[in-house]
Chain A
Amino acid sequence: MNNKPDFARMKFYCDENLCIDCNGCVVACKEAHEVPVGVNRRKVVTINEGIVGQEISVSMACMHCADAPCQQVCPTDCFYIRADGIVLHDKDKCIGCGYCLFACPFGAPQFPKDGAFGTKGKMDKCTMCAGGPEETNSHEEFEKYGQNRISEGKVPMCASMCSTKALLVGDADEVTLIKTYRAVSKGKGIATEAMGW
């Protein structure tokens, strides 16, 4: 696989055949970034709960779209998309208007209720553990955006904590390879390491 970071394109993928709605990803993210109560950068959506044979769960957060609608609508242009596809934003510019939430198909932008007069505060969303515009790994970056694991070469918190490795994150080609491997090895009688794929 191509290991050059210049060509990486970071993606999330959650396999709904493996997601068991354990919320490990949700809590891991909140703990790692000390997100305020009431904001969920990541959430698990379960549909058809309790209906035999139809219940499905999937973990969702910001999908770091290539054509991010949030970035297109932001009136202060506070978003920036890294070369590897991770969509980040600048909380200093954010005015908390909420346009990004209206435009996002996934409901990724979240607003804590700590703005003036109890209105929406600055927008917060999944950063794919890549921090923000502040200096990397600085105290300010952690206070505003949470950990910057990508700069340390670590897997984002949610995927690293996923109990069943339903949630994968990484270069699109790598993730595709894993999913292809899973599909090809279906039913073939192969056993694999724990916490791997």
Chain B
Amino acid sequence: MANTWGYGAMTNHIGDMQNSKAIIIFGANPASNHPIAMQHILKAKEQNGAKIIVIDPRYTKTAAKSDVYCRIRTGTDIAFMYGMIRLIRDNNWVDKSFIADRVYGMEDIFTECEKFTPEHVEDVTGCPKELLIQATTAFATAEPGCLIWNQGWTQHTIGSSNTRLGSILQLTLGNMGKPGGGCNILRGHDNVQASTDLGCLADTLPGYYGLSEGSWKYFSKQWNVDYDWLKGRFKSKKMMESKGFSLGLWIHGVLEKENAANNADTPLKALVCIGNGISTITQTHKVKEALDKLDLVVFIDPFVNDAAVITTRGDNMFLLPAATQVETSGTVVNTARSAQWRTKVVEPLYEAREDQEILFDFAKRMGFYKEYVAGMGKGEKFTWPEDATNEIARSLKTIGFQGRTAERIKKHTENWHLFDSVSLKGKGVTEKEYYGLPWPCWTEKHPGSPVLYNINLPVSQGGMGFRNRFGTERNGSDLLSAKGSAPVGSKIDGGYAEITYKNIEELAGITLTAAEKKAVEGKNWKTDDSGILVDKAIEAGLAPYGNARARTIVWNFIDNIPKHREPLHSFRPDLVKQYPAVKDRKNHYRTNVRYESEQNAQEWVKDYPINIVSGRIVEHMGTGTETRASKYLAELSGEMYGEVHPNLAAKLGIKDNEMMWVYGTGEGKIKIRCKYSLRVDENSVFLPQNFSGVWSGESLESKYPKGTAPYSFGESSNQVTSYGYDQQTSCPETKCSLVRLERA
């Protein structure tokens, strides 16, 4: 999404869904994964008359509440969406003025969609064409409509294309920038948005500043450390500015010699893992191998990380108990970009220590504590977490964190009851502010921006156009938005570039004083510590990041426009020729990743004829390390199973509740209970991803330190998921794997 219109985050917010007249859900299951958010979807359905449309390989609990349900083969979302776009084009449901004003490159999309006739879509996806037409009609004719997705889209080799095409679909219908519309990615954890905002990613500094020299220099200044000192911590400037290994790919940095060349000629030697996630990537047996091979492994977690018990290494593995969220204070940022304060309720129990204490301790022992805390500007006499929150606010200008000081966030959380959950508007002491100051919140006076890209509001009230991030023109076409398309009250009635010291006077129609000029010399809205550029821009009704068109073409991506490609292990080898995977990539997050060669290595579906559909079940979270240690949740869902259609099970000779072996395309295999279910079709098996503690039929309970084992164990579904990573983001392809089932 960031590559389409500037920011990669949920564009509207959760309560806003009550304003939708149609909600289409791809690759997400809010009834199981976001039960509280589901209430808004149901209110939209009941009270607002919204149509709920679910596109999913499995008839989930969310689908049970839908008005239209389309079952598609895993990994065929792009084909389905192009089918929708073609129908939208042919039925004239396109929002022509929106596209003319605010979108670049739509013609290429309308060309690409031509071959996705309803019949062809039925062939590729398996969804009857009548349902495609019904779903498209319901969604396109309702106004506004919002689109929900989550990991059902991102965890594919073409995940990045999925999310782009979803965004494009909403642009086609003009559903962006309005309440009730938007792209609502319901992310999984209450703070995962902040984890990416703060750069817990392999390819950027905090705030999505990237890894260029300019960004490093900016952050050295923010952190009050010397740039050269910081550079000296890295092997070379080249490595400093290179994308690192990602969560999906780190194992290949350990196991495959060839990747050392991408990593300054060394394999990975140590792993420090804070929180769970190691066992959520594909090919757990490779994870085990990697863990066994490392020189040092450290887990920092309140519960015993399930990766700690799959490894058979003898030495140099450390478990450091960390505090949970009730044992510490700080900010969290939800999927809708709002910040909330969390207050410590109890001192850390047992030997647990708060995460920051552990990291400070490391910094002290490694000799850079002084530099580590310098950014808060108080030397070693800082107040945690308020000073850290303010440092973040000050530094993350790209996403407009400046207004989210500790004081303002606390005030909102303490006055939670004063906010309206559908509009997020506050009352009383929080009047005119939006709950949690959803970013971008440009200044300390700014109320936050609950609905992104809304040009019906002035910038000072949370309005804005699309971000100018990709230049101002391309191939002769203007990338800035058209005349007449600008936030309310804008000095410029049309598009403009992002604000820099060079163009501020001209765009805002002002003259800076000499002192102001000196303060902003050489800076732009992302790097100006004085705040002058942002202030002047907002005074003139201009969004600091410019006012541009969203683009459907991403010229630095392998697929300029989203294209359907069959999964690496495809259920339909006949379609692989027409829709092949991309060529193998070298140095993709420091790893040489196979695409085409993996897809063509063999006709996978011959030996592994069944699709995996994997997902979360409502009783458990993540890998279940925490939830399986709760006795009631373990009682509700205590055993790993696979949902199999009775007809398929009959063909395989497996009775309901019998054990079965599931063999993956790698060397992994798991022994789980077969549960008859009509939720899946006859070619699929649904595997919950929340279990661990059993390794191919053997229980790992004895590996847990005494008294720390959870109440229930199960096989991890990732033992049988396949090799495959998104071609741009390296997110593992857990949603498209093939397996073989056999009666145990």
Direct contact between the two chains A and B in their complex (CB within 8 A) = yes
Q: How many angstroms between the C-alpha atoms of A56 and B32 in the bound complex?
A: 15
Q: Is the interface of B mostly helix, strand, loop or mixed?
A: helix
By CB atoms of chain B within 10 A, which of A55, A163, A191 has the most?
Answer: A191
Q: How large is the interface on A (under 10, 10 to 19, 20 to 34, 35 or more residues)?
A: 35 or more
Q: Contacts of B39 on A, CB cut-off 8 Å?
A: 18, 163-165, 194-195
> A50 is contacted by which of B59, B420, B635 (Cβ under 8 Å)?
B59
Is A37 touching B48 in the complex (CB atoms < 8 A)?
no
Is A182 touching B36 in the complex (CB atoms < 8 A)?
no
The 0/1 profile, CB within 8 Å of A marked 1, for residues 698-734 of chain B is 0000000000000000000000000000000000000
Is A21 touching B46 in the complex (CB atoms < 8 A)?
no
> B618 is contacted by which of A21, A38, A52, A192 (Cβ under 8 Å)?
A21
Nearest-CB distance from A71 to chain B (Å)? Answer: 29
Residue of B nearest to A189 (CB): B48
Residues from 34 to 50 in B contacting A, C-beta threshold 8 Å: 35-36, 38-40, 42-43, 46-49
Is A55 touching B64 in the complex (CB atoms < 8 A)?
yes
Residues from 152 to 174 in A contacting B, C-beta threshold 8 Å: 163-165
Q: How many angstroms between the C-alpha atoms of A60 and B42 in the bound complex?
A: 20
Nearest-CB distance from A78 to chain B (Å)? Answer: 27
Q: How many angstroms between the C-alpha atoms of A189 and B63 in the bound complex?
A: 22
9-residue interface stretch from A23-31, A91-99, A100-108, A115-123: A23-31
Is B632 touching A190 in the complex (CB atoms < 8 A)?
no
A20-B38, A22-B35 are known contacts. Are A187 and B677 too (CB-CB below 8 A)? Answer: no
Q: Please tell me if A193 contacts chain B, counting CB pairs below 8 Å.
A: yes
Nearest-CB distance from B337 to chain A (Å)? Answer: 17
Is B633 touching A20 in the complex (CB atoms < 8 A)?
no
Q: Contacts of B632 on A, CB cut-off 8 Å?
A: 26-27, 30-31, 37
Q: How many angstroms between the C-alpha atoms of A192 and B633 in the bound complex?
A: 31
Is A50 touching B42 in the complex (CB atoms < 8 A)?
no
By CB atoms of chain A within 10 A, which of B420, B632, B679 has the most?
Answer: B632
The 0/1 profile, CB within 8 Å of B marked 1, for residues 78-91 of chain A is 00000000000000
Q: Contacts of A55 on B, CB cut-off 8 Å?
A: 59, 61, 64
Q: Please tell me if A185 contacts chain B, counting CB pairs below 8 Å.
A: yes
Q: Please tell me if B370 contacts chain A, counting CB pairs below 8 Å.
A: no
A22-B31, A37-B631, A188-B47 are known contacts. Are A194 and B40 too (CB-CB below 8 A)? Answer: yes
Q: Contacts of B35 on A, CB cut-off 8 Å?
A: 20, 22, 24, 163-164
A20-B31, A20-B61, A52-B69 are known contacts. Are A163 and B38 too (CB-CB below 8 A)? Answer: yes
Q: Contacts of B618 on A, CB cut-off 8 Å?
A: 21-23
Residues from 46 to 63 in B contacting A, C-beta threshold 8 Å: 46-49, 59, 61-63
22 contacts between A and B (CB under 8 A): A17-B42, A17-B65, A20-B32, A20-B35, A23-B618, A27-B636, A37-B631, A49-B678, A49-B679, A50-B678, A51-B59, A52-B69, A163-B35, A164-B39, A182-B46, A182-B47, A191-B422, A192-B43, A192-B47, A193-B421, A194-B36, A195-B421
Sample of 6 further A-B pairs with CB below 8 A, known A18-B42, A185-B46, A187-B47: A17-B42, A37-B631, A50-B678, A53-B69, A164-B42, A193-B421
